[in-house]
Amino acid sequence: MKMAPRRAARPRAGGSTYDIAVIGAGVTGAAIARRLSAYKVSVVLLEKECDVSFGVSKANSGIIHGGFHYSAATTLKGRLEVLGNLMFDRLQKELHFPFRRCGILVAAFSVEEMKTVQELYSRGMENQIIGLELAGRDRILALEPKLNPDVVGGLYAPGGGVIEPYRFVFSLIENAQANGVELRTGFRVAEARREAGAGDRSASSRWALVSQQGEQIRARTVINAAGLYADEVSRLFGAEEFRIVPRKGEEFLLDRNARGLPEKVIFPVPDPRSKGILVIPTVEGTCMLGPTAFEQEDKEDLSTSRENFETIFAAARRLVPTLSERDIITSFAGLRPSVEGQDFLIAVSEKAPGLVQAAGIQSPGLTAAPAIADYVKDLVKKTGLALEEKADWNPSLPLVPRVRELSPFEADDLVRENPAYGEIVCRCESISEAEIVAAIRRGHTTMDGIKFYTRAQMGRCQGGFCTYKILKILQRETGMSLDQVTKRGGASRLLHGEVGRDPVAPGGGRTKLEAEA
Partner 1 sequence: MTERRYDTVVLGGGSAGLAAALEVAERGYSVAVLEREHELGGILNQCIHNGFGLHRFEEDLTGPEYAERFIERVESHPGIELFLDTTALEAGVDGTPVVYGYSRRHGILQIRSKAVVLAMGCRERNRGNIGIPGTRPAGVYTAGLAQRLINIDGIVPGRRAVVVGSGDIGLIMARRLSWVGTEVLGVVEIQPYPSGLTRNIVQCLNDFAIPLHLSHVVAEIYGKDRVEGVRVAPVQDGRPDEARSFRLDCDTILLSVGLIPDNEISKKMGVELNPETGGAIVDAGRMSSVPGVFACGNVLHVHDLVDWVTEEAETCGASVASYLEGTYSQVQRQVVPGANVKYVVPNRYFPEAENRLYLRSLVVKNQAELVVTLNGEQVKRRRLAHVQPSEMVSLTLGPDDLPPAAGAQEPRLEVSIR
Other residues' Cβ atoms within 10 Å of the Cβ of residue 511 = 13
Catalytic residue among 65, 69, 444, 496: 65
- DSSP strand pairing (153-157 vs 133-136): antiparallel
Binding window for partner 1 (CB under 8 A); candidates: 141-149, 235-243, 287-295, 493-501:
493-501
Looking at the Cβ atoms of 180 and 422, the one nearer to partner 1 is: 422
Residue 65: active-site member: yes
* Overall residue count recorded for the chain in this entry: 517
Binding residue (CB under 8 A) for partner 1 from 89, 112, 498, 512: 498
Min. distance of Cβ 299 from partner 1 in angstroms? 11
Pick from 100, 423, 441, 484: which binds partner 1 (CB under 8 A)? 423
CA–CA dist 24, 372 (Å, integer): 14
Member of 420, 441, 477, 484 binding partner 1 (CB under 8 A): 420
Give bridge partners of residue 355 from the DSSP assignment: 222
Closer to partner 1 by CB, 87 or 431: give it.
Answer: 431
Count of residues of this chain found to bind partner 1 when the rule CB under 8 A is applied = 69
Find the angle CA(40)-CA(44)-CA(48) to the nearest 5 degrees: 165
Cα separation, 28 vs 338, whole angstroms? 14
Q: CA-to-CA distance for 243 and 174, rounded, in angstroms?
A: 31
Q: Considering only residues 270, 276, 321, 463, which one is a binding residue for partner 1 as defined by CB under 8 A?
A: 463
> d(Cα 81, Cα 230) in Å, to the nearest integer?
21
227 close to 56: Cβ distance less than 8 angstroms: yes
- Shortest Å distance, C-beta 434 to partner 1: 10
Give the contact letters, 297-336, x = binds to partner 1 (CB under 8 A), - = no.
---xxxxxxx--x---------------x--xxxxx----
* Cα separation, 85 vs 75, whole angstroms: 16
Q: Quick one: which of 1, 491, 513, 517 contacts partner 1 (CB under 8 A)?
A: 491
Smallest separation, CB 404 to partner 1 (Å): 9
Q: Which one, 49 or 144, has the nearer CB to partner 1?
A: 49
294 scored as a contact of partner 1 (CB under 8 A): no
> SS3 sequence, 389-432?
ECCCCCCCCCCCCCHHHCCHHHHHHHHHHCHHHHCEEECCCCEE
Burial class (CB in 10 A: 0-12, 13-18, 19+), 362: buried
- Give min distance, CB of 439 to partner 1, in A: 18
Q: How many angstroms separate the CA atoms of 255 and 278, rounded?
A: 16
Residues 220, 402, 455, 460: which binds partner 1 (CB under 8 A)?
Answer: 460
Q: Tally the C-alpha atoms within 13 A of residue 125's C-alpha that lie toward its C-beta.
A: 9
H-run or E-run covering 271: none
Least spacing, CB of residue 260 vs partner 1, in Å: 14
Query: Interface with partner 1 by CB under 8 A: which range of 146-154, 352-360, 382-390, 402-410?
Result: 402-410
φ, ψ of residue 249 in degrees (nearest 5): -130, 120
Q: Contact positions toward partner 1, by CB under 8 A?
A: 253, 257, 300-306, 309, 325, 328-332, 403, 408-409, 411-412, 415-416, 419-420, 422-424, 427-428, 430, 432-433, 447, 460-465, 467-468, 471-472, 482-483, 486-488, 490-505, 507-510
Residues recognised as catalytic: 65
